[in-house]
Amino acid sequence: MNENNQNGRLSEEELSRRLREKRVNNFSLNISDDEWEEDNNYEESSSLNSYSDPSVAERQSEQEAKSEKQAKKRAMQAHKARNKQKRKGNRRFFRILWLVMVLLIAFSAGFYAVNGINDMLAVGRESISVTVDLPVDPTNEEVAEILEEKGIIQDRSFFELYAAFTNSSNYYSNGTFQLDTSMDYQAIINTLQKTSNRLDVVTVMIPEGTSVRELAQLLEENGVCSASDFLEACNTTELDASYDVLSNITDRGERYYHLEGYLFPDTYDFYQNDDVTSVLMKLVNNCNKKVMDEDLQEQIAASNMSVDEVLTLASIIQREAANNDDMAMVSSVLHNRLKNGASQDIYTLDCDSTMYYPYRTIDDVPEDERETFLSTYNTYTLRGLPPGPICNPGMAAIEAALNPTDTNYYYFCHDADGNAYYAQTAAEHQQNLVEAGLR
């Protein structure tokens, strides 16, 4: 039975074993060669694609770069979005700040304008009289500062602005002025720009026979102008075209002072620290009015002398005569010498007043020049009249030069008391000198 089992049918154990073997064999066989090759090819292909194929590597690199670029772009967009949001916030802040600043500026400007206009119109200012002194050639800033210090204005900067806007800042006059605190800006400016409103008036009496040098000293002593500035101005020809009387000046290059004899002696009102040209204009204008008078011009024409010769002769008469009554007699002696001197062997005028011109006496000549000084006006060495007047004569001397007394005298002298002595001959003159105490 066991054998049958062995030959006829399999035992259960044997059957089970065979079934397992069959399943194993079936599993192995079911894997075909194509599948095997396909699996192998897949692995090989994957291996080649990843490590051996350049195109694959390049695509992967491009893909990575593209991804990185997109990431950066997204980051940039996010950054821009944040900045845009910040800018919106900043714009809002600065708009508010700008609005605040505009309001502040508008308020300040309005406040400044209101106060300035009130000050310009002198609104609410009490009326008080104030004296103001302006320097020579004052600037707009200097004037404004002085006015503010004196309490005439309250806002210096607004006054400067007003003066500049009205083109008034360059025309102020120096001197002393009387102002009132109730005056508006325009009234203040008008007052300060007219010399006729000045209070620092200096009245100067110029004696007849005063020379240019003496007049310069007199003006300086009275605070009108400096002597050096005046002397310099007297040697210019700037006024010649403005006054007819100056057109008669001859021998211009030989004169010590161009305007000597044409600064008419009189009483004048000047200003302290006055303009030199203004001073000269007053003096010359007076001379022009007196000398160019129609009646006097007729007398000058009848004398056969020029205006300059008349003034030169008058200046010597002014210095040589003892007084006005003596002038016509002195004029007679000088005329006789000029016209008929040669017949008496007299060729010069021999007037002491001309010896040291432009100085009056030897003591007036600078010490270092006294021993060598020789005046070109000296009528002891010069024949006829000197190059020009030796002083500024008055009307009495001018009238005497045109209307000498009719005499035959060729000599004259005066004693210490001013008494005059006249003579026809040199011998008589010597006796007069002894009698006058001059010899």
**303 vs 402: CA distance, rounded Å:** 7
Q: Residue 42: its pLDDT value, please? A: 43
Give the 3-state secondary structure of 304-321: CCCHHHHHHHHHHHHHHC
User: CB neighbours of 332 closer than 8 A, spacing ≥ 6?
Assistant: 404, 405, 406, 407, 409
Residue 337 has pLDDT above 90, yes or no: yes
User: CB neighbours of 379 closer than 8 A, spacing ≥ 6?
Assistant: 316, 348, 349, 350, 351, 354, 355, 385, 386
Query: 415's torsion region: left (phi>0), alpha (psi -120 to 50) or beta?
Result: beta
pLDDT band at 265 (very low <50, low <70, confident <90, very high): very high
Let me know how long the chain is.
439
Beta strand spans in 11-135 (E): 129-134
**45 vs 52: CA distance, rounded Å:** 10
- Contact call for residues 320 and 351 (beta carbons, < 8 A): yes
> At residue 191, what are phi and psi to the nearest 5 degrees?
-65, -40
Q: Which one is predicted more confidently, 299 or 50?
A: 299
User: CB neighbours of 128 closer than 8 A, spacing ≥ 6?
Assistant: 151, 180, 181, 182
**254 vs 387: CA distance, rounded Å:** 6
Q: Residue 47: its pLDDT value, please? A: 45
pLDDT band at 22 (very low <50, low <70, confident <90, very high): low
Q: Average pLDDT for residues 297-302, to the nearest whole number?
A: 96
Could you tell me the two tokens for 308?
A: 């300059």
Count of H helices and E strands in the chain? 15, 6
- Contact call for residues 280 and 231 (beta carbons, < 8 A): no
Paired strand residues for 411 = 423
pLDDT digits (tens, 9 = 90+) for 356-401: 999 999 999 999 999 999 999 999 999 999 999 999 999 999 999 9
**159 vs 278: CA distance, rounded Å:** 29
- Contact call for residues 313 and 401 (beta carbons, < 8 A): yes
User: CB neighbours of 434 closer than 8 A, spacing ≥ 6?
Assistant: none
* Helix, strand or coil, per DSSP, at residue 107: helix
What domains can you pick out in the chain, each with its CATH number? 129-197 (3.30.1490.480), 201-291 (3.30.1490), 306-435 (no CATH)
Q: Residue 51: its pLDDT value, please? A: 44
Q: What is the mean pLDDT of the chain?
A: 85
- Contact call for residues 329 and 409 (beta carbons, < 8 A): yes
Residue 5 has pLDDT above 50, yes or no: no
Residue type, 20: R
Among the ranges given (174-183, 330-339, 391-400), the one the predictor scored with the smallest mean pLDDT: 174-183
User: Which H or E element spans position 270?
Assistant: strand 267-271
Nearest to 177 by CA among 140, 152, 141, 203: 152
User: CB neighbours of 148 closer than 8 A, spacing ≥ 6?
Assistant: 154, 155, 156, 159
pLDDT band at 173 (very low <50, low <70, confident <90, very high): confident
Nearest to 336 by CA among 349, 319, 326: 349
**334 vs 315: CA distance, rounded Å:** 12
pLDDT digits (tens, 9 = 90+) for 59-91: 777 777 777 777 777 777 777 777 777 666 677
pLDDT digits (tens, 9 = 90+) for 192-245: 988 889 999 999 999 999 999 999 999 999 999 999 999 999 999 999 999 999
- Contact call for residues 327 and 397 (beta carbons, < 8 A): yes
Q: 280-315: buried (b, 16+ CB within 10 Å) or exposed (e) per residue? A: bebbbebbbeebeeeebeebbeebebebbbbbbbbb
Nearest to 404 by CA among 337, 293, 345, 329: 329
